[in-house]
Amino acid sequence: MTKGQAKDAGSTQVAAGKDRVVIFDTTLRDGEQCPGATMTLDEKLQVADVLDAMGVDIIEAGFPIASNGDFEAVSLIAERVKNATVAGLARAGNKDIDRCAEAVRKARRPRIHTFISTSPVHMKWKLQMEPAQVYEMVVASVSRARNHVEDVEWSCEDGTRTEHDFLCRCVEAAIKAGATTINIPDTVGYTAPEEYGALFKMVRERVPNSDKAVFSVHCHDDLGMAVANSLAGISGGARQVECTVNGIGERAGNAALEEVVMALRTRGDIFPYDTGIDASMLTRASKLVSAVTSFPVQYNKAIVGRNAFAHESGIHQDGMLKHTQTYEIMTPESVGVSKTSLVMGKHSGRNAFRDKLKQLGYALADNQLEDAFVRFKELADRKKHVYDEDIEALVDEKLATAEDRIKVLSLLVIAGTMGPQVATLTLDMDGEHRTVQATGNGPVDATFNAIHALVPHEAQLELYQVHAVTEGTDAQAEVSVHLGVDGKSFSGRAAHPDTMVASAKAYLAALNKLAARQDRVHAHSAEEVA
């Protein structure tokens, strides 16, 4: 495989000889504890199911002592999760640890995650404890947790601002007391990649029993470096990453799970590590977490943002049409997005426009394409989003007027107080002249009934609007008509000093567009069959 080449969707398997990085998801704990992200019990269960199905190794389901709701959520998740280890968070006190043990009791693989602050600022101001007291609590809390479960994680809160000697002493004591995972969090998002990577190297080298535990990264995004720091921690020897879907979490959030997973996968050349994550579920997980928390996903968010696989610049679209690897380092399918989208806008070029028309079923001659492209550019200059429907309308309008199959030849309407109103209409229909007389509830109704009698159709009248183009009683009437069928809308517009004539012409303009589209769809499907 060449450098920067996208891997295919199936390459998440652990490759022989590669180190495994364990994914610890804390969307339901660190993620849920951020302002506004509260989830109901049912929502937490849905998220846990998706995380488990996606291959997350450890789901931190909540903080059981925090509330009865949290306790219940952790207990129920512990009971239902099939594959992942289920962890609960506990401070260093006995009550916290016992409550947490009770909550994770029914998990196939229960974990207690206990923590205490070790930095000078936290010990002095938050805990108001001396380092020696903190040290004692590390030993006591880990030992107590270990009496409940075999799998105990210990975190030194504010680890990146902790003095190295004290940090190493605490880590050694925690491992001696039975901790199987040691997490060194960058609680306040303060560290930088080089420093964080070096911290893990230092601790692993200096702590004599460091080989008895798995080291873990836990990064916050206050300086926008959470993912970069997490990856640097892995390079420094950590083999567990704590992260959240969409990067939700305290303040600026945690490292985003989808970014960590795809960075490891896409840059396997510099990060030779595998995860057990089925990356094709990343988009689904992101959408679920966004929906249940009501936290929108930033449009340009890496991996799961709606623009992550969208290209608008003409140069990029041209490159993409020639070879997707020109501008994509991952395939959209590999993260669960069905396809790349070439967003049509003012930066799009001719090639992308031609390709879009082809997708929409148009086969235009070169001069027609050129004409449509000019009108598309004019529209894109005026309109922020140019949707497929806009392009269809733009082309259909031109095709319809060039090839109008039905035209008004004459119209006579009798109106007034002595109803019913009567319309006598003659149409040119593909060269054949046909006349009908119809009545209606008013002159417009009579005219439209006459059209319906000559051109039977399923479309519903969605809009009928008249406005005077100029002032005065001789003003041109401009009429707009929208006809809807099968969820699509066809618009027609016409102007005439006689409002009834303008109405008939506008209605027929919409019908002509509808007919042009139906012809095009039939021709396209006949081509596909052939």
- Rounded distance between C-alpha atoms, residue 98 and residue 104, angstroms: 10
Residue 172 interface partner, choices Zn ion, ligand KIV, none, CB cut-off 5-8 Å depending on type: none
Q: Which of 30, 52, 70, 153 binds Zn ion (CB under 5 A)?
A: 30
Residue number of the CB atom closest to Zn ion: 30
Phi, psi of 407 (to 5 degrees): -130, 150
Q: Which of 71, 73, 112, 115 binds ligand KIV (CB under 6 A)?
A: 115
Question: Which of residues 89 and 446 has its CB atom nearest to ligand KIV in the complex?
Answer: 89
- Rounded distance between C-alpha atoms, residue 412 and residue 19, angstroms: 84
Single-letter amino acid, residue 493: R
Using alpha carbons, list the distances in angstroms from residue 454 to 290, 403, 415: 52, 19, 21
Asked whether 76 and 105 are in contact (CB, 8 A), the reply is: no
In the bound complex, what is the minimum distance in angstroms from residue 186's beta carbon to ligand KIV? 8
Q: Which of 27, 75, 118, 155 binds ligand KIV (CB under 6 A)?
A: 155
Phi, psi of 328 (to 5 degrees): -130, 125
In the bound complex, what is the minimum distance in angstroms from residue 29's beta carbon to Zn ion? 8
Residue 115 interface partner, choices Zn ion, ligand KIV, none, CB cut-off 5-8 Å depending on type: ligand KIV
What does 171-196 look like in DSSP terms, one character per residue?
Answer: HHHHHHHT-SEEEEEETTS---HHHH
Closest alpha carbon to 508 in 420, 400, 423, 433: 400
Question: Which of residues 183 and 331 has its CB atom nearest to ligand KIV in the complex?
Answer: 183
Contact set for ligand KIV, span 171-200 (CB under 6 A): 183, 185, 187
In the bound complex, what is the minimum distance in angstroms from residue 529's beta carbon to Zn ion? 58
Under rule CB under 6 A, residue 513 binds ligand KIV: no
Under rule CB under 5 A, residue 259 binds Zn ion: no
Under rule CB under 6 A, residue 99 binds ligand KIV: no
Question: Which of residues 185 and 332 has its CB atom nearest to ligand KIV in the complex?
Answer: 185
Under rule CB under 5 A, residue 186 binds Zn ion: no
Question: Which of residues 175 and 511 has its CB atom nearest to ligand KIV in the complex?
Answer: 175
Under rule CB under 6 A, residue 230 binds ligand KIV: no
Q: Which three-class secondary structure state does DSSP give residue 495?
A: strand
- Rounded distance between C-alpha atoms, residue 80 and residue 368, angstroms: 60
Question: Which of residues 30 and 153 has its CB atom nearest to Zn ion in the complex?
Answer: 30
Under rule CB under 6 A, residue 373 binds ligand KIV: no
Under rule CB under 6 A, residue 221 binds ligand KIV: no
Alpha-carbon torsion 397, 403, 406, 407, what sign? positive
In the bound complex, what is the minimum distance in angstroms from residue 517's beta carbon to Zn ion? 55
Q: Which residues contact 221 (CB under 8 A, 6 or more apart)?
A: 189, 227, 247, 249, 251, 252, 253, 254, 255
Name the segment binding Zn ion (CB under 5 A); options: 28-36, 55-63, 102-110, 369-377.
28-36
Asked whether 266 and 329 are in contact (CB, 8 A), the reply is: yes
Contact set for ligand KIV, span 5-44 (CB under 6 A): 30
Crossing angle of the two packed helices 443-454 and 499-529, in degrees rounded to 10? 30
Under rule CB under 5 A, residue 158 binds Zn ion: no
Tokens at residue 163, please? Answer: 């003095």
The binding site for Zn ion (CB under 5 A) comprises 30
The binding site for ligand KIV (CB under 6 A) comprises 30, 115, 155, 157, 183, 185, 187, 218, 220
